[in-house]
Structure 1
Amino acid sequence: MQPTEDLYQTVQAAAPELTPKLRGICQLIETDPVGFIRSTARELCNQLGTSEPTLIRFCQRFGYAGLADFRIDLALSLAQKPALTPFGVESNPVDRRAVNFSAKDTIGRKAVHLLEGDTSVLFDNGSSAERLAAHLGNLAPLVIMTRSLDVAQTVLSHKQHQVMLTGGNIRRETMSVTGRLVDTALSEMRFDTFVMGADSVDPETGISTFLEDEAHQNRAMIEASGRVIVLADKTKFSKPRLHRICAMDRISAIVTDLEPNHEIANRIRERGVRVISTQEDGVND
């Protein structure tokens, strides 16, 4: 089976055909979807009375390599069903870091050269931004502001950069801050560059996300920046999500692992956006 747009519905529809062990996993997803996404694999195995290979086999039944990418798509599916998760649900940050780690790290290494000559950079939260932050050690000192506690810690490890947090309410699930204080902090500042990840990149629609407050915070960060660089592995070029962040004309460059002449990359270039592929030498398009 191939991954589907509405994973939650697909799982529930398949439940009657599954073995008792796999059906038990379906039932947990139905009764406690947030717990299924937030728990560790060991916690899930203890709760279900099953093994980790069984969990992986369940995910593979629906076209996924393992638990991490299955749960990311499950979170996206649940975001379209607010009645099931009235307080919202975000994918597990541990899962996000694990999925496509090598691609994200290569993208981050490729993108770091775009920051040469900058003096101030604004960083989004998320696993892609974290990987770029990990490669800032050879750059001249920068002033870096972020709303991600993980990005801040990573940048501090390089020792030469000044790090600021926007302030706001800490969202424990993502180790990032949100709320009106983010807007207040950004309203009086101007950065050379904003580095962001994306839930979805579409040549026509632009950049979008499934969370309303994430879209709002990202718009504020875009307005506070001279240019915008998007980090997006090839899985992010997908159907637009509910909340649009910005149109393509606001993006300066997209760094990706798409092939240089991929049809989507060419359509984005037609919109006037620079596309930099990790599969080509240098940073020129």
Structure 2
Amino acid sequence: MARDGAQTRRSEIVRLATTTGLASVDELSDHLGVTASTIRRDLAKLTAQGKLARTYGGAMPLTHPTEASLRQRLGEAFTAKQAIARWAVSVIESGETILLDAGSTTTALAQVLKDAGDLTELTVVTAGLSTMGALAETDGIDVIALGGRLRTMSQAFVGPLAESAIARLSFDRAFMGADSVHPERGICEADLEQTLLKELMMSRAAHTYVVAHGAKLGKSPFHAWAVMPPRWTLVTDESADPVAVHAFRDSGVEVIIARHSAD
């Protein structure tokens, strides 16, 4: 029985390392309810079996997660992203200047915003090609496109030109996308240039919202991070794990749960 328990625990360690990118001893100990020394023995066993690679303080999968393209992400978690988008549009007011980060959830937000006929005299600033396309012919919305180098995977502009443009702007609200988001580390991305631009965007906003469906909470698939401002709001959906939600709230983050039903 004990052997079965150890095998189940080690399988869970491999799963966590594969889905989050890095498994630390302390995090695994808390999550699995065993001592740190037990986790270290498990990691040693899994490393010897060729299932994980040891790192200082933890382990990581032998094959690191790869970044999904925007095209791939547009087809994922459609219902959750629509729910998040509806909530986000509900807090926007006529006459505001808002920042829409690049990404699939912010693209959904742009699509909902396009059909929100009661909002007028909006200015939308964005680095995302899909967001630009969604709002290009929308009456009552003035679109400001950030320049820079185009990242093919994310269909977004990054680099010094985009950063220079952000320094000349400010926003009533910034809606940020994320490959994943962690209550302590911030926004996780595949590319360091993205994280710098996100930090600049958030520093210029009166209110920052991270829009991320439930599967993105608490994960660490990559090792580039955007540091969060002192106060920000996480907007997720009802698929989010309550434990993950509590971790954000315990860290002082305001969390909004968008419901899938439009009622």
Aligned to 1:120: 97
The 8 Å contact of residues 155 and 161 in structure 1, kept in 2 or not, is answered as: yes
Q: Which residue of 1 aligns with 2:203?
A: 223
Out of 164, 170, 189, the position equivalent to 1:190 is: 170
So what's the TM-score if we normalise by structure 2? Answer: 0.69
Say which of 53, 65, 74 aligns to 1:77.
Answer: 65
- C-alpha distance in 1, partners of 2:206/2:258? 24
1:265 to 236, 245, 251: 245
d(CA) in 1 for partners of 2:18, 2:248:
26
Is 1:154 the counterpart of 2:134? The answer is yes
Of 227, 232, 236, 2:212 maps to 232
* 1:230–1:251 CA contact under 8 A, matched in 2: no
**Structure with more helix by fraction:** 1
Q: 2:73 corresponds to which residue?
A: 96
Q: Does 1:180 align with 2:160?
A: yes
Structure 1 stretch 179-188 or stretch 238-247: which is displaced more?
A: 238-247
Structure 1: stretches of 5+ with no match in the other structure = 10-74, 79-89
How far did residue 220 of structure 1 move?
1.4
Alignment partner for residue 225 of structure 2, among 244, 267, 281?
244
Cα distance in 2 for residues equivalent to 1:253 and 1:131: 18
Whole-angstrom CA distance in 2 between matches of 1:97 and 1:196: 16
1:75-108 Cα deviation digits (max 9, x unpaired): 9614xxxxxxxxxxx4222210011112111111
**Are 1:208 and 2:188 matched, yes or no?**
yes
For residue 188 of structure 1, what is the amino acid of its counterpart? R
- RCO greater where, 1 or 2, for CA within 8 Å and sep 6 or more? 2
Which TM-score applies when normalising by structure 1?
A: 0.64
Count of aligned pairs between the two proteins: 206
Change over 3 Å in CA distance of 1:205–1:106 after alignment to 2: same
Match of 2:125 among 140, 145, 149: 145
Give CA-to-partner distance per residue, 1:155-182, whole Å, 9 cap, x none: 2243220001111122233322111001
> Alpha carbons of 1:267 and 1:151: their partners in 2 closer, same or farther (altered >3 Å)?
same
C-alpha distance in structure 1 between counterparts of 2:154 and 2:260, whole Å? 32
Structure 2 Cα separation of the partners of residues 210 and 167 of structure 1:
20
